Structure 1
Amino acid sequence: MVNIAGREAYSYPLLIGQLLASVKQYRTTEIVSAGRRFSYVALRERIHRLASLLRSLGVQAGDTVAVMDWDSHRYLECYFAIPMMGAVLQTVNVRLSRDVIGFTLRQAGAKLLLCHAEFEPVVEDLRDALPDLEHVVRLIDGDEPGTYEALLAAALPEFPFSDFDENAIATTFHTTGTTGDPKQVFFTHRQIVLHTLAASATLANQPDGQGLRRSDVYMPMTPLFHVHAWGLPYIATMLGLKQVYPGRYDPGTLLALKKQEGVTFSHGVPTLLRMVLDAASESLAPWTMLVGGSALSPDLAREAARKGIVTVCGYGMSETGPILSIGRSGPEDTIDSKCRAGFPIPLVHMRTEPDGRGELQVRAPWVTQGYAAQDASDALWEDGWLHTQDIAEIDPDGGVRIVDRIKDVIKTGGEWVSSIEIEALLMSHPAVSEAAVIAIPSKKWGERPKAFVVGSPGTAAPPPQELRAFLAQFATGGHISPYAVPDEIVFRDSLPRTSVGKIDKRLLRQNAESEPNAVLSTRIATQGDIHGP
């Protein structure tokens, strides 16, 4: 309390529990998951029961509670109950290897684990190496004795939640995609609440069909273990949307739920959008999809539009909570501008160093203050700006274009080449559904681009020479540099993925370095020097 002229004013802390302030008014809105349907009033009671259950198992403020589950109502309840009682929610990436999962649980010091039955063998193998872990609660879709639903039903329906410091840590998880062990990041209550407010305000002010309204039906297609599912479950709950949780992602299940439940808003990486489009046999309208994680190619955006999906690009990182920018477009905008990374949302500052085109650096009140390792934190926050490791351009209208990752940009013959740009052009060919471009060492040119492509379903793979000639026409027209045409184009049945569905270029580079001179896949050699004399 704050004393003002003899009166005590309430000093309102920005805690995750405050996002539930209005849920009692959403009496007819549903949460749909694992064959269950219940109201927001029931959601509130279940959150209280979960906190009561965890307290009965010894969880106190400051303890870490880890979750290993697919997208479910259980996960949504953990998003609130665990941090609301002052504990720390650890969202475990279940797609990591057993040993890496063990590393993340040990580093976070998880005291209790809520674990889906599917992952029990992993946890059993790790149990002796997890000295802090005292309890494991089994998660299944049914009501068997001793499992989540049965324990919840027996727990007290009211928990005495109280206020505490809004700067207390609410969540933690590990970001992957770099060499070495994953890095542990932290987010406070204040950061998550501010992110929720800024992102929801942006989505509410989007052009028709490009945002999120209370009448929408929300279904995540980004795992809830990945950066708070981009913060959308907090937004959807605060706004009282009908929410549909699909469990493990399967295109057929996602499409069935979309039709049965009237889903109108989702979010995910381009890979998952690609899978949904390939599985769809009819129009999917209305459906707005926020796309991030990696660049959305104009060709994929056009195909989505043909099937009734409005794509809206967004940008962020694990370290930024994650949303920093969201796109919006009008009828006058080109497909290229629609595929930009969007415009900074409220309270976000962006700059490039050097000015014009360079590394994107950001400030926002919800970006993580650092990693568990101090040396990595110092590099992340050099000069008081968070360094994204992305090369970007900021257009005159404020729109952000991500040119490439610093580690993925290719320098050949003294000229910079964007792998993202070449990938987009390759995917504009009707016989290509996916593409990845990496740099390979060259004694003459320093680096050269090498492309890996996946053919479109039901389409015969063209000769690699045809794809190279297809790219060469863009060089002739001045759209790209002649340096950018890859010397090698490799066809594959699929491309390796990271644990969050992005193309794993690090693995592609490793394989390219170890690949013998004998050709593993169809490829072409350089026909002379494309760089000129």
Structure 2
Amino acid sequence: MTMDGAVVVPGTTVGAQWVDDVLLAGPAGDVCFSLPAPIDRGMLRRLVRDRQMELAQSGLRAGGAAALRLPPSMAFVTHLLAVWRSGGQAILLDHRLTDYEVRRAIERLVPQVVVSPQRPVASGLRTFVDIDTDVASYCGHPAGTSHAVVQLSSGSTGPSKVIGRTAEDLVEEVLRYTQIEGVPEPGERIILLPSMVHVLGLVGGLLYGLHAGVELVPPARLTGDAILQAIAGGSKPATVLGVPFHIGLLASVEEPPSLPQFKRMTTGGELVPASVSSAFEEKYGVPLGNMYGMTEVGVIGTDLFGAHRPEILPAPGIEVRAVDGELQVRRPESPYLGLVDPARWSDGWLHTKDAGVVDPSSGLVSIRGRLDSQVSVGGLKVDLTEVEYTVGTLRGVEAAVVVFDNAITAYVQLNQPREIPSLEAELAQQLAPYKRPRTLRLLSQLPRTTTGKLVRDLTVLRKAVP
């Protein structure tokens, strides 16, 4: 079923038709969200059409760009789909970013419209919120590329990357999910834990769920008990989609009830230790599956039955190779907006910066960890280079080294007296909470090599602390 108001703009983001055909088609009475009140396809189509009219009144035009700074909510879902139906480009900004980070991003990407909450979003453990939005016109310009979605790799300051994906690329990934054995099937449920601003929640949850007719169920709160209540709240088979952080929430439940609806849990992000996966499977009696992917390309490989752990099998249509110990994924065009960095993409191959090997006989991929400075904190990717850059801009900071030592830790050399609380307060204005160093250590002199380069070895840095 196609709604009125569809926009197709040759040479831009191809807007409406793919949204109607791939995401919004289906019987009007089919439930696509449980919040816990049900949202069926007919209601969702009406909400998207209304959002589309609001965006047009605020200045969004076919081929334009809209920045969405919204928490997980129906407002986010409907605005996102409305932007795409308008033939627009959606710039996704994590709602946890500071005003400083958002301002930098908007100055960098210059959208025509910015959508944000009318009031500050209450902090807490809510996974899905009910908000009113403010749609503000901005003196931006039409989208400079044909990408349907634009995301920032790890924020908007320092050396973060701007990543774009076309409508065709998103549709291709959604259809790729349908070929992966073990994904939720039509008529089942996804207990949705990851943010829809990021690729796992966006494509693996929202877009795939809408396309496949899988009911999306965000728990009332981000706790182990609330996740189990969401599973128990319906009779349809349920897959929990999350990141390793969420495994700990379920593990914290001492005596979980019998849940015949619980089909499996699938996580993306960092690797799960064998001891953790074994304990989870023993406690709940369901497989703990794994997905490996990147914002730049989406899902790369999976092991949804836990049969190959810690290895994964490339997803259908994905070609992976290892060169000098680095995993690379075939990608015809660079996903990065702006100048192409050959260290990130070259000659049709995306450089993952992950260490790994590919078994030539089975095709199984072993991931050995990151090669660069990106780490995962609670399932959210953080670029330590960005954090280090920001710490280095603080007043009185002469040099800084930021490392991951079970948590983000900053070693700081000052050129004027500063107290740690004042540095932390200043940093809170520039970095989202999950990016901030948990510990700041002040040194009179940071260790350096004989050539003057800052030393990043954890053992040396720890010894340098007075």
TM-score by length of 1: 0.61
Q: How far did 1:190 drift?
A: 0.8
String of CA shifts for 1:322-352, please: whole Å, max 9, x gaps.
111111548xx4xxx3232x21112211111
Q: How far did 1:219 drift?
A: 2.6
**Preserved CA contact (<8 Å) 1:28 1:39:** yes
Match of 2:162 in 1: 184
Structure 1 counterpart of 2:291, from 309, 314, 317: 314
Match of 1:217 in 2: 189
Counterpart Cα distance in 2 of 1:500 and 1:69: 17
1:507–1:291 Cα change, 3 Å: farther
Counterpart Cα distance in 2 of 1:102 and 1:510: 34
What is the identity, as a one-letter code, of the residue corresponding to 2:277? A
1:329–1:260 Cα change, 3 Å: closer
**Preserved CA contact (<8 Å) 2:329 2:351:** yes
Match of 1:48 in 2: 49
**Preserved CA contact (<8 Å) 1:362 1:386:** yes
Structure 2 counterpart of 1:171, from 149, 152, 159: 149
1:220–1:255 Cα change, 3 Å: same
Q: How far did 1:111 drift?
A: 2.7
Match of 1:400 in 2: 365
SS of match in other structure, 1:360:
strand
Match of 2:426 in 1: none
Counterpart Cα distance in 1 of 2:462 and 2:244: 28
Task: Indicate yes or no: 2:199 matched with 1:227.
Answer: yes
Match of 1:363 in 2: 330
Counterpart Cα distance in 2 of 1:38 and 1:230: 18
TM-score by length of 2: 0.69
Q: How far did 1:21 drift?
A: 2.8
Higher gyration radius (CA): 1
String of CA shifts for 1:111-136, please: whole Å, max 9, x gaps.
32222355479xxxxxxxxxxxxxxx
What is the identity, as a one-letter code, of the residue corresponding to 2:188? D
SS of match in other structure, 2:337:
coil
1:379–1:258 Cα change, 3 Å: same
**Preserved CA contact (<8 Å) 1:33 1:247:** no
Q: How does 1:90-101 map to 2 (within 5 A)?
A: 90-101=91-102
Q: How far did 1:380 drift?
A: 1.4
Q: How far did 1:391 drift?
A: 1.0
Q: How far did 1:247 drift?
A: 7.1
What is the count of residue pairs matched by the alignment?
Answer: 373
Match of 1:493 in 2: none
String of CA shifts for 1:10-47, please: whole Å, max 9, x gaps.
xxx97664353375543443243555422112111211
SS of match in other structure, 1:219:
strand
What is the identity, as a one-letter code, of the residue corresponding to 1:173? Q
What is the identity, as a one-letter code, of the residue corresponding to 1:215? G
Counterpart Cα distance in 2 of 1:81 and 1:372: 23
SS of match in other structure, 2:148:
strand
What is the identity, as a one-letter code, of the residue corresponding to 1:89? A
Counterpart Cα distance in 2 of 1:178 and 1:86: 25
String of CA shifts for 1:418-475, please: whole Å, max 9, x gaps.
x99xxxxxxxxxxxxxxxxx9xxxxxxxxxx99749xxxxxxxxxxxxxxxxxxxxxx
Match of 1:81 in 2: 82
**Preserved CA contact (<8 Å) 2:147 2:166:** yes
Query: Percent identity, aligned pairs only?
Result: 19
Match of 1:265 in 2: 239
Q: How far did 1:72 drift?
A: 2.1
Counterpart Cα distance in 2 of 1:339 and 1:16: 40
Match of 1:238 in 2: 211
1:280–1:65 Cα change, 3 Å: farther
Counterpart Cα distance in 1 of 2:314 and 2:439: 29
Q: How far did 1:257 drift?
A: 2.2
SS of match in other structure, 2:329:
strand
SS of match in other structure, 1:62:
coil
Contiguous gaps of at least 5 residues in structure 2: 1-12, 123-127, 136-144, 377-383, 385-402, 408-430, 442-455
Structure 2 counterpart of 1:344, from 295, 298, 314: 314
Q: How does 1:59-78 map to 2 (within 5 A)?
A: 59-78=60-79
Q: How far did 1:310 drift?
A: 2.0
Match of 2:354 in 1: 390
Q: How far did 1:195 drift?
A: 0.9
Counterpart Cα distance in 1 of 2:219 and 2:457: 34
Match of 1:155 in 2: none
